[in-house]
Structures are given as C-alpha cells and as structure tokens.
Structure 1
Amino acid sequence: MQVPFPLDDLALQAPVPVNLWDPHGVLLLRKGEVLLDEQHRQRLQMHRPMADEAEVKAWSFRYTAAIDRMVRANQSLESIAGVARPMGVAAAPEPEHDAPVEVWPDLHDALATLLYQGAQAQGFLPRLAQIERRMARVLQTRVDDSLFVLVQLLQDRRLGHSATHALLCAVVCRLVGPALDLSPSDGDSLQRAALTMNIGMARLHDTLAHQAEPLSAAQREQVQTHPARGAALLQRLGVDDPLWLRCVRDHHAVPEVGGYVDGRTDLDRPVLLLRQADIYVARLAPRADRPSWPAQRAARDAYLGPDGQPTAVGAAFVKTLGAHIPGSYVRLANGECAVVVRRGRRANLPLVMAVINRDGLPLGEPALRDTAEPAYEVKAGVTADTVKLRLPAAKLLARV
C-alpha cells in the first residue's frame, strides 16, 4: 500500500531511504538517490510523493532504534535532536480492493455483459457506477499493475475485445486527464464515455477483432453510425450528462475533416483525449486483419499531430504513460526480450522483466532489468504478436 511521504523530513544531499512514487505509480526518485536542493524538493512536492507503507515503517523502526541507542548511551539532547525526524506517516485506511490480476478480469466480464445488453440492460447506471467504484479502488494504489494486466488482457484473443478496449481507454483517460488540467468532474464524465463509447456496436466490435475479410456494407454502416446511435442509446438508459454524451457522439470525429461526425471542428480536450486513447489502445491490440503496433510506435504516433508537430494532448499522453506502457514488450541492448512492468521517471526508461534470452529461449526465471543501465537499454519495441511466451501476470508482478 502506498502512503503519503513527508519530503520535509529528508535532508538535502542525503540518500533517500525509500522509493518515491506519484499517486499514479510513476517513480519520482529511486531509493539511494538524493534531494539536490530546495527547488528539487518543491518540484517533487508538486507530484504528491508516496512511498510503500512497509518501507516507511521499516525506516521509522530504524529511527526509533537509533534514538533508543543514543538514550542508553547517555548522549546529549542536542545530539539526539540532530537525528533526522522519523518518517511519521499516518497511513490511510486500507481500501477494500483485490489484486489487479483478479479485479480487471472480473470488471471485463461485468462490462462486457452491460455493453452487450445495451438498451435491454436493467439498472444500467447503478451497475456502471459499481464498475467505476471498483476501478477507483484498485487504481488508488496499483496503477502500473493495472496497466500491465489490462495491456496483457488486450493481447489475449480469447477475450471479448470491446470490454478490454473500453477499460484500458477509461484508465488511460483517467490518468492523462489531470495533465491536461481536466477538472475531476470532467474526468468522471470522460471515464464513463470511454467505458461506453462503443455500446452502439459492442458485439460487432468483438466480431471485427477476429474478422480478416473486409467489412460488409451492413457492417460498415453500423461502424459509421455507432457514435450517434451509442449516444442516443445512453440517453434512453438515463444518461443526461452533456459531456459524457458529447464524448461518445464525437469520439471518432477528426477536427480537420469531420470524421464520422460531419463538419465538427469544435472538439474540446476531453473529446480529443478520448479519440486519441481510442486510437492508441486499438493499435496495441492484435487483430485478425492486422498485427499490433509496438507500444513505442503507438506512443510516437499519439505524440505528433497531422502536421508532424507535438500536440498538447499527445505531449500529456506520452508524459503520463511513457513510451512503453506496462504490459508491452521491448528488445534490450543485451539481446533479451522483456516485458515492461513499471513506468520510469523518464518516458524511455521503464522498469522491465526479461523473459526471453538473446537466443530466443525462455529464461528459467524472469529477471528484473533497469533500463537506465547501458547493458539493459531499450533498443526497440516488440509487438505482442511476435512474443509467443505468456507468463501469468501474478507471477511476474510478484517479482517486481
């Protein structure tokens, strides 16, 4: 469990006693690195640093033991007062949540049922709210593990594609929204739009993931009209949130040419973020008619606009998710193939677990690699289609 960490208790130029993370699971400062100066401390404070509760408690115990030894040795009060203050963190109540490897498959099943039922869904809004509450609990402390599990689920052709796509899009929008200064209420509306944007074609969405031949005329018409039909269906189910409905209606609109929504050029940031998340997640997913994209290529495409220049949405996207999202695969400088398990403090420095050696053979045990080290530098992204080895997510995450 992650708990708030008081940076004011750390001395400048002294090794940090624990790994520091932001609330979204991005590593801010590694254990053993130092606070350079007060400006460095203030910059980190802006990210609301967190630390693992067990590590904090261990440090507090060492502090208490040090004080006890000094008291027993009859050292002066001045000496005792000079000892760094304890990492006195008041732990928040333990949230009710399961492991991500259990939560997300359950949520997939619940959302798939809701989307399939569509207009016939009973208690649609309360059931969706229940899904969101469970999402919020697991994302409170397990962001990178959640991204890992969802990306791995996205690569599993046996699962219904539409629900996995929606869940990952919703998490991506939830994480990237604050970097675009979206308000909490807009973030809620955007998340709900991501979960339901394809309710107008959920069954077809799953079918097309396994269909190698071109779309029929009827299928093409259903794809073209699903944003408007989805928004109308949601209204019949009781949705009256204008932003939620607008995001669903316009999530395929392209500002330059109108997209599926003829003539729309006034797309705001929530709609643009949902559109980008939809495209990004679709490119990570292997389909019968095309292979998946390496995460690095999908991130680069998200970063640049039609004119080849970075966009505000694209910059926030890559800053938040990194070039290599957890659950994706990379090739390392030493020839190993590794799966990304954590975002790093820089977009191109993820923490990875090597699973295949340079000769293409599975490693006896997955090995944690720090890509900040030259020997384990990321050289290229690897598509999920080309990695035949699949290890249980629980086994991999337990080793991080």
Structure 2
Amino acid sequence: MQLLKLVESKIRVGVPLPWNVRNQDCTLLLARGHVIRSDAQLEALLERGMFVDVEEFKAVEALEAPPAKPLESLYTRWTLSIDALETALPRLGDTSDGLDAIYALTDEILELAEKDADIGLFMAIRQDQAKHLRYGYSHAVYTALLSILMARQLGWTAARTRLLTLAALTMNASIAELQGQMAAQDYPALDRQRAQIRAHPALSVAILEKAGVTDTEWLTTVMQHHEQTDGTGYPQAISSVSDAAQVLRMADLFMARISPRQLRQPLSIQDAARLMFRDDKGGPFSMAIIKVLGIYPPGDFVQMASGEMGVVMRRGSEARTPLVAAVTDSQGKGVTTTLHRDTSQAAYAITGPASDRSLLARVPPERLYGYAVHAG
C-alpha cells in the first residue's frame, strides 16, 4: 500500500471523510465516513500524521466532478503552496508526480512574487507561530520567496532565478519533517539530530537524483547551500562556493533567524539584518537582502513619532520609509479603523520597532490589503 500524507486543505471539519485515514504504519485511524468535529481535533490529528491509500484517494477524486474553481486570495495561495510542498517532498524519488509537483509549485511561487511581493513578505514575516510542525515546509516556501527577490535585485535572468527557486524548495528534502520536530521540541537538539542536519545537503541531492534531476547547477546549489567561502561550512568544508548557493544560504539563514521556535523567540528583522551584514562584511548578497526588505519590511510592527503603532504594509522608496497601517491611537490603544501613514512625513516617521506585539494577532492581512484576489 502506497500512502499519501494528508494536508489541512484536503480535510473539512464537519464533513464525512471520503476515505479511510491511516497512520504512517498503515494502521487505520479513522474509517471512511467519520466526521472530524472541531479545528482543534483536526490540528491534533495533522500533528500526529494522517495518511490515505493513494489508490483510494485517486478513486475518490475521479468520482467527484470538480466544481468551478473560485478565485483564491493571495494569502490562501501562499498557504496552499505550503500544503503543496508538504505533499510533494515525501513523494520525490518515488514517483514522477513528486517532481512534477515541485515544478508546478516553483511556477506558482514565482507568479505570487510577481503579483504582489509585499503580501508575500507579509506572510513570511508574520508566520503562524502555533504550527511549528509545519516549519520545514513553510520555511522552504518563504526562503524561496526571499531568494527570488534577492536574485531579481542582483539582476539574475529568469531562468537562473527559477533554478534558484527549485533549489530553495528542495534543499531540505531529507529533513523537512525533522525541522518541524526540532522547531516544536522544548529541549536542545540531540546529537543524532545534529548529525542528520550535517548530512542533509548530500542526502537531499541523493533524493533529487533518484527523482531524475540531472541539472548540475540545481544539484550543486543544494549540495553547497551550507558551505561558506572561508571553508567553515558543511558537508564538504569547501571554500569555492557558487553564487547561487551563497544566495540560498543567506536567505535560508535569514528566514531561520526570524522564525519562532518553541525554545526561543525569533530575532527582529533589524537584528537579523545586522548579523547578516556583519557576517557577509557588507558584501553584495547581504546588501541584496537589505535592499529587498528595507529596514522595516511588510509584516513588521513599528512605533511612529505620532505615538501610534502600526503594521508595515508596503515597502517605500527608501529603506526607512515604508507605508504603515496604524492600528493604535497616539496613546497605544487599539482602534477599529485602519489609517495609512506615509512614514516619509516627519509626523509619522518610524522611531523603531514596537515593543508590545500582542496587537499583531488581531490584525489579519485582509484588514490591510483587502481580499487580494487576482485573476489569472
């Protein structure tokens, strides 16, 4: 029996399951027709791992005539991209479907980055802190976005940017599940986990080769994405590292630093950028990140000279002057209206990151950008 891992978008609370649900060992968990009653129950089951027989899944899909597909918001499409990667990565090397899904997902993320990069950055900065177990997949998707924006800033061709995106999505093919486990655990990494991390570039390359990938630049980028030009990286400790691998390493490390873990809070965007600039000695790749994001990127929470706090909506013409949506009054009290503030004006200049981030949970992207539905 070949199993397919189920993701959140495939299951509806309150609707009978159309197939038998099993665990990773093929043991039956829920029979066809069972009804999941709450989001909490669904979340617990997803964390445990829900699988379905591939043939049973295909049979049900064949019986169901697809309804007219509604237009989806860009936020939904980013979330579905994470679902798609969670489904595709475990299938790499087993069937051609997995590699085809990676190609399709790459094109989707390139399109999303082109349609509205600010919304993509908002989603990347404002990650769902509760879903640590999906970290391996969300991290790869958002690292791909940052890599795309860096490549465009550096003037790379569309073909080279696409190859970098493919590498970003597959760099951790061998440890995506492990990354989620480590993000959720409340104790330091174990020795065996560290060993898996050190070995993962080579193991991910092996998975890609088994899947039929022959592109040398793609494979090299994945193999080298933790190498450093001073020879202190891994797994080979080489000093001659491709530009694509250096860009990917920097995007990977930056996104990791600003992502939450059970054991620690994320670094602020500003602190992560300072570390990147220091480590790279102000080189072109760290400068590309700073130019792409600005000092205060979309999703960041800032304090303004007016006394208001707000969420950054869109990058501005200057790194320090983005468009901000004020979500408090001058006394720091939450407001129901959302006023746009041009921070290039002295009255609304950003004075620094806001320290009290509790209000962020009550600011969904729809409040800032509307429904963000794009046809085509």
Aligned to 1:111: 85
Match 1:216 to one of 160, 173, 190: 190
Tell me the alpha carbon deviations over residues 171-220 of structure 1, each in whole angstroms, 9 at most, x when there is no partner: 11111113323232221111111111111100011111111211112111
Aligned to 1:137: 111
1:139 shift after superposition: 2.7
Count of equivalent residues: 303
SS of corresponding position for 1:369: strand
Match 1:338 to one of 285, 295, 310: 310
Match 1:196 to one of 135, 160, 170: 170
- Name the CA distance, whole Å, in 1 between partners of 2:81 and 2:187: 31
Change (3 A) 1:225 1:158: closer
Change (3 A) 1:216 1:222: same
Aligned to 1:275: 249
Aligned to 2:75: 101
Change (3 A) 1:388 1:318: closer
Over the matched positions of the two proteins, sequence identity in percent amounts to: 30
C-alpha contact (below 8 Å) 2:174/2:207 kept by paired residues: yes
TM-score normalized by the length of structure 1: 0.70
- Name the CA distance, whole Å, in 1 between partners of 2:346 and 2:131: 35
Rg: which structure is higher? 1
SS of corresponding position for 1:194: helix
User: Aligned letter for 2:141?
Assistant: L
- Name the CA distance, whole Å, in 1 between partners of 2:166 and 2:116: 20
Change (3 A) 1:399 1:163: closer
Change (3 A) 1:162 1:292: same
Match 2:234 to one of 241, 254, 260: 260
- Name the CA distance, whole Å, in 2 between partners of 1:290 and 1:337: 25
C-alpha contact (below 8 Å) 2:110/2:162 kept by paired residues: no
Change (3 A) 1:143 1:262: same
Change (3 A) 1:283 1:154: farther
- Name the CA distance, whole Å, in 2 between partners of 1:138 and 1:286: 24
Tell me the alpha carbon deviations over residues 6-61 of structure 1, each in whole angstroms, 9 at most, x when there is no partner: xxxxxxxxxxxxxxxxxxxxxxxxxxxxxxxxxxxxxxxxxxxxxxxxxxxxxxxx
User: Aligned letter for 1:248?
Assistant: V
- Name the CA distance, whole Å, in 2 between partners of 1:159 and 1:220: 18
Aligned to 1:17: none
C-alpha contact (below 8 Å) 1:154/1:285 kept by paired residues: no
Change (3 A) 1:372 1:188: same
- Name the CA distance, whole Å, in 2 between partners of 1:385 and 1:285: 15
SS of corresponding position for 2:318: coil
* Cα RMSD for the two superposed structures: 2.4
User: Aligned letter for 2:301?
Assistant: Y
C-alpha contact (below 8 Å) 1:299/1:318 kept by paired residues: yes
SS of corresponding position for 1:366: strand
Aligned to 2:289: 317
Aligned to 1:126: 100
User: Aligned letter for 1:392?
Assistant: P
C-alpha contact (below 8 Å) 2:258/2:269 kept by paired residues: yes
Change (3 A) 1:375 1:195: same
C-alpha contact (below 8 Å) 1:116/1:203 kept by paired residues: no
Change (3 A) 1:155 1:350: farther
C-alpha contact (below 8 Å) 1:328/1:384 kept by paired residues: no
- Name the CA distance, whole Å, in 2 between partners of 1:97 and 1:338: 29
Aligned to 1:392: 364
- Name the CA distance, whole Å, in 2 between partners of 1:118 and 1:175: 26
- Name the CA distance, whole Å, in 2 between partners of 1:386 and 1:311: 35
Aligned to 2:270: 296
Aligned to 2:55: none
- Name the CA distance, whole Å, in 2 between partners of 1:195 and 1:133: 12
1:248 shift after superposition: 1.1
Aligned to 2:334: 362
Query: Equivalences for 1:37-48 in 2 at 5 Å?
Result: none
Q: Which moved more, 1:204-213 or 1:138-147?
A: 138-147
- Name the CA distance, whole Å, in 2 between partners of 1:211 and 1:170: 25
1:229 shift after superposition: 0.6
SS of corresponding position for 2:115: coil
C-alpha contact (below 8 Å) 1:322/1:346 kept by paired residues: yes
- Name the CA distance, whole Å, in 1 between partners of 2:184 and 2:133: 11
C-alpha contact (below 8 Å) 2:147/2:247 kept by paired residues: yes
Aligned to 2:21: none
Match 1:285 to one of 241, 255, 259: 259
- Name the CA distance, whole Å, in 2 between partners of 1:371 and 1:157: 33
1:138 shift after superposition: 2.7
- Name the CA distance, whole Å, in 2 between partners of 1:184 and 1:118: 25
C-alpha contact (below 8 Å) 1:186/1:243 kept by paired residues: no
SS of corresponding position for 1:286: coil
TM-score normalized by the length of structure 2: 0.74
Match 2:299 to one of 286, 304, 327: 327
Residue ranges of structure 1 left out of the alignment (5+ in a row) = 1-95
